[in-house]
Chain A
């Protein structure tokens, strides 16, 4: 499943990031490398998703969320 499919307050684990190297490097350096646990802080179905991982609150556009595979933790 992709990142935006998780609901608010659900925990997840990053599995894979799909996209070009630029995208991967951006996501990784922002604090979401594979196998990081994260918590969905906000997902209202329309705005970018807010997650918390590696001490950091991160906002991710819904389109970009589709490129991030996760599993529920």
Chain B
């Protein structure tokens, strides 16, 4: 088996290539011991099996963030048989910086100039053969979204594997020596001499010295442990004197190297030197936000249009299936109940919600593919940077109003895993339509016309929760010293690649579905088991026994057992909490239907008002606001974090704050009223 490592800057089309190569044969997990996503896949060509490792995207090889550390470590240890560097042909000068930063790593390498179609549209002529000749490594002009071009990719890959060509840093060193400021060049040479006795394995000495001069944390600590204290003292003196200027010297030289490569190999006047008319609006301080909101509303509307028929269909089918199952399993009522509540009920909920996941992934994919997402990030960055988040988080966060689980999948647009995790934490605070409906329903039952006030209080509480989350999780997930204020590229607009987009989305929806159904079936089974009773009376179920037993404890939070059980039901789905209430407040109803019921009974409001006191109602309403959103949100969070631990941590956090809030509200209300 041969291993190919894909290395490229964000927006270089690396994931498109990865997806097209590996199709459904991919595995996404975490790098061992790191909060960084690891994507790996396989494909066969002829007899040979290839493994493709999609390295986290970064703009260069200096190890600053967790993602960059992973990429760098993988590259410098030479784990791959071939490193495939992907650059954006339409932004060649900038994106070839990655190749220049790589020069000096002694791994076989090939270069893919991706998005040749966009470059052509921009009026650029790129002489691929000439670049290959200058660099002396296999180079391919390519459009990753065009599946017809792949035979040529494999051809170049084979050539690269045979040739095992590497790229040295000699030319960059020449430029540094010729054009750099004398004092800095002297320092670089001194560093080279001082580290000369060390072993460099897969790296050239000049590359090591450059990274040292750039104050790269990995090389710094490697050198510090390897040299004598005397040598380190001398090295440190040089580094302290250079400060951050060292990085300027080598950085400038690398760009000069790129310019030299392109001087004869690329031509064409820049057409897009001016801001296009659309971009003038899309990046405008006020209009830009209006456009973004408009696009978001369309996105949500489209999501609803896709999701609602699927939801209706699912629940319709579920309703139709129930009598059939009952008839078939007449003699085994327990089994019938199990099938209806757990298997069919769970399946219906999961498939129904996949409509949202699908819609959000498609619309976000479109926005990212087309380049618009970066514009919306640009206009909203100032809002989100207060929380430590990138502007890109705006779209997923707002789409949480449609469906938490779907929006959790939408956080993929964020670049680092820390950012994604934090966005997920915030998303759980943002109520989806159903949650708002449940909260307002409860508020109107107990407080009549004052219910809209709860909407306002809810909004304020959401912002308070953002603040609390950023205090608790912000610095751990997005270390303050790793944050660099917004310096982002706005990539050129592209035509979306429908075929690849739909294929990728379909694969992702299937993966999410598999994880979600497992979680949902498991939770449904638990609910079914504890709510089962032989005669159908809820008072004869385990649930009732447990509820009564823990009532003295749940009373602390202002929740009598019926309310607490409804709160727990709300973890399954928000609608289920109403269903549970309908059952527990009228103990005559069939307890089997606990999991499957999705609506309030006709006279639920009356029944509750008769039993529940105002402080209890307040406690329950506030607990519902920050209750765990639903099992689907748990399922997708599990799938997207690739970590049961993180999913449980987020769930535990919301369990705690919702009960804590109930406690506070209940006791204040007792005291005041």
**A positions within 8 Å CB-CB of B:** 16-31, 33-36, 39, 41-42, 44, 46-48, 50, 52-61, 63-64
Contact = CB atoms under 8 A, between A and B. Distances in A.
A21 B201 CA distance: 25
A17 B486 contact: no
Given A26-B484, A29-B60, A54 B490 contact: no
B622 interface: no
A55 B60 CA distance: 17
A57 B272 CA distance: 9
A25 B469 CA distance: 30
Nearest to B259: A54
Contacts of A39: 273
Interface string B202-216: 000000000000111
Interface pairs A-B: 8 shortest CB-CB: A28-B251, A29-B60, A21-B215, A29-B59, A31-B94, A54-B93, A55-B91, A61-B485
Contacts of A52: 270, 273
Contacts of A29: 58-60, 62, 97, 101, 251
B471 to A, nearest CB: 22
A23 B92 CA distance: 23
Contacts of B81: none
A22 B484 contact: yes
B64 A26 contact: yes
B532 interface: no
A31 B248 contact: no
A31 B484 contact: no
A30 B60 CA distance: 9
A24 B91 contact: no
Interface residues of B, number: 49
B90 to A, nearest CB: 7
Contacts of A48: 378, 381-382, 486
B489 interface: yes
Contact of B248 (A34, A47, A56, A60): A34
A57 B490 contact: yes
Main SS of chain A's interface residues?
A: mixed
A57 B481 CA distance: 26
A42 B282 CA distance: 12
Given A25-B247, A48-B381, A50-B283, A60 B93 contact: no
A52 B490 CA distance: 10
Contacts of B275: 41-42, 50
B499 interface: no
B244 interface: yes
A58 B487 contact: yes
B248 A33 contact: yes
Nearest to A25: B62
B81 to A, nearest CB: 26
6 contacts: A25-B60, A25-B64, A26-B484, A27-B487, A52-B273, A58-B490
B489 A58 contact: yes
Given A41-B275, A42-B283, A64 B251 contact: no
B152 interface: no
B92 to A, nearest CB: 6
Interface string B238-271: 0000011011100110110000000000000010
Contact of A30 (B62, B90, B272, B487): B487
Given A24-B244, A29-B101, A56-B93, 4 more contacts: A22-B484, A29-B97, A35-B252, A48-B378
B285 interface: yes
A20 B244 contact: yes
Given A20-B244, A41-B274, A46-B285, A34 B487 contact: no
Contacts of A34: 248, 251-252
Interface string B333-357: 0000000000000000000000000
Contacts of A17: 244, 248
B490 A55 contact: no
